[in-house]
Chain A
Amino acid sequence: MLELFRNPKNLGKIKDADASATAGSLACGDMITIYLKVDEKTEKIIEASFESYGCAANIAASSILTELIKEKYLQEAWKISWKQVSDELGGLPSIKLHCGILAVGALRRAIRAYYKNRERPEWLPEELTPEERQALEEEELMNILGKKMRAVSTKPSEKEV
């Protein structure tokens, strides 16, 4: 994992990417963007890359995920779970599991983005998968917390248990 942090694979933006998507936000301290270059005919991923604002585990998870999906059909890439990402890294500790989930969330969003102006294949569910929902929940939570922060006046506060 440390090696992947030191020398991440597939780091950086793909300028002419066919699809890209971000999960997380600056405010939650974890943000991953995934870029995909896809062969139009075969729907195979030719190139995948990432950028990450996050901890070392986050960077390693994004790096390994982009390795895993290279040369895969979008349908296969869609099926990759956060558990596989964690296993590939030798098992993420429980407090870092959300890094794997966020990376998978970003990938699935990128795949959805690819099909935004194309016909949705049957294997792509309309409903959000748990990984996508988790990304959404983290973003929403930070939104709420951010609003709460701004609303905090300088009054003393009785703590809520």
Chain B
Amino acid sequence: MIGNLSSNLRALIEAHGRPEREVYLDLENSGLIFEEALNELLKSYRESGYGHPSITHKPGWSSLELLLEAKENLLSFIKARDGEVVFTHSGTEANNLAIMGLAKATPNRRKIIISSIEHLSVKFPAERLQELGFRVMEIPVDDEGFVNLDYLSDQIDEEALMVSVAAINHEIGTVQDLRAIADVVRDKDPETIIHTDACDALGRTPLDFGKLEIDIASFSGHKIHAPKGVGALYVRDGIKLEPIIHGQLSSQSLWPGVENIPSIAGFSKAIEIFRENFDNYREKMKNLRDILIGGILSQIDDAFLNGPRGDRRAVDNVNVSFLGCEGEALTVELSLRGVYVSSGSACTSRTLEPSHVLLAIKRPYEIAHGSILMKTSPLHGEKDIEYALGQLVKAVERVRSIAPKGVV
């Protein structure tokens, strides 16, 4: 069965061929690593990070040193005054640890509050806890994805275990007002824990955990062009969490197993690069984002931007819908043209339902099905974006030409 599938894939890739030019814009779903981060990973495998950081020998101590440096790096990048960093194998794992780990540590509080546009690695653990007897409340958002603070406030009481709202939404780029969210929560009940999935915020917006009243935050390596397979959870001092996986000794009490030191070292390097170039990178991503959004809206009819505009939108996020142009077909057509993007169409979600984020901001189904998501990065140049834009115009035209007339 797997053999068949893999030979089918080989045939598919062969039939696809290599386009003349390739622009990878599917940074939501991974890809693209900083050369320096990759070199750091290799160096760590070869020289300084192959040992187990808990063992008392030189390779172990070298690995432990890399691990501690990486923790310091992340804490300083997010301006945390105290707290601990736990490295995990992904942002998904960090979100799971935050939610399931809190529920295990504080079982007497039974209500979990999340926004209606959270990443599935927040939504699904919460739903799992619901099956185990917890209550899950979803806070509605407005049509740009901003959390309704009045409803949030109404939900906070002594039953509330935690509130989880992503600092920046992964799909439509809404930059939430974390300070206002924290104020609302603290005002009603200082004991309710505040978690933020900051996977898409790291490097895109200034984070100051010294000033923000946030207790727990999740991060992901590949989203800042670090190696895959590494994530992190920031946990403020005094917050009790229980591990959710159990096993071998580790230098980290909340996470068992052999730490992925080479990837952690690469993650640390990527953090350094983003910290040193923070303003430049933000400006660059924003400029490319605006070229892409402006070009799409002016050159393609019946195109709609999903999410907020300007400074309330993530500097890298481009999410647009094309009416009468099914999203998954568009991803394939663009792929043949060397432009790689993803879609919020139902066909990409393995159910009939399109993206829950687009539905939560009340986009009609036909608009949600025709959505594509792209992210700009410091690794792109203006030429890449111009090429992508040109191909996008042609690809939308082609996919629309296949559809029954009268659809658009």
Contact = CB atoms under 8 A, between A and B. Distances in A.
Interface of A: 1-3, 5-6, 8, 11, 13, 22, 26-31, 33, 51-59, 90-91, 95-96, 138, 141-142, 145-146, 149, 152, 154-159, 161
B95 interface: no
A29 B369 contact: yes
Interface stretch (B65-73, B81-89, B233-241, B343-351): B343-351
Contacts of B4: 91
B352 to A, nearest CB: 6
A55 B329 contact: yes
A133 to B, nearest CB: 16
A34 B103 CA distance: 53
B148 interface: yes
B139 A51 contact: no
Interface string B393-408: 0000000001111010
Contacts of A149: 359, 362, 364-365
Contacts, number: 125
B125 to A, nearest CB: 13
A20 B151 CA distance: 50
A25 to B, nearest CB: 9
B405 A31 contact: no
A54 B326 contact: yes
Interface string B314-358: 000000000010111100110010000000011100101110000
Given A29-B327, A59-B402, A157-B137, 13 more contacts: A2-B15, A29-B346, A29-B369, A30-B326, A30-B347, A31-B403, A31-B407, A52-B404, A53-B324, A55-B332, A152-B362, A156-B148, A159-B130
Contact of B131 (A5, A8, A145, A161): A161
In the A-B complex, the 8 residue pairs with the closest CB atoms: A29-B369, A55-B328, A27-B365, A53-B403, A51-B404, A55-B347, A56-B332, A26-B366
Given A154-B148, A156-B154, A59 B352 contact: no
B137 A156 contact: yes
B244 interface: no
B326 A55 contact: yes
Contact of B350 (A28, A95, A158): A95
B403 A27 contact: no
A99 B312 CA distance: 39
A31 B336 CA distance: 23
Nearest to A32: B404
Contacts of A5: 329, 332-333
A56 B140 contact: no
Nearest to B332: A56
A56 B354 CA distance: 16
Given A28-B352, A138-B352, A8 B402 contact: yes
A143 to B, nearest CB: 11
B135 interface: yes
Contacts of A55: 326, 328-329, 332, 345, 347
15 contacts: A1-B12, A11-B402, A29-B354, A51-B404, A52-B402, A53-B324, A54-B328, A56-B329, A56-B332, A142-B352, A152-B362, A156-B137, A158-B136, A158-B138, A159-B137
Interface in B139-194: 139-140, 148, 151, 154-155
Nearest to B365: A27
B39 interface: no
B405 A51 contact: yes
Given A29-B346, A156-B140, A145 B365 contact: yes
A59 B136 CA distance: 40
A148 to B, nearest CB: 10
A57 B346 CA distance: 13
B116 to A, nearest CB: 8
Contact of A29 (B135, B140, B365): B365
Contacts of A138: 352
Given A13-B405, A56-B332, A146-B365, A29 B154 contact: no
A152 to B, nearest CB: 8
Contacts of B346: 28-30
Contacts of A52: 402-404
B4 to A, nearest CB: 8
B352 A26 contact: no
B208 interface: no
B107 to A, nearest CB: 19
Contacts of A91: 4, 8
Contact of A58 (B8, B329, B359): B329
B135 A158 contact: yes
B126 to A, nearest CB: 8
A7 B96 CA distance: 44
A138 B353 CA distance: 11
Contacts of B127: 159, 161
A2 B10 CA distance: 12
Nearest to A154: B140
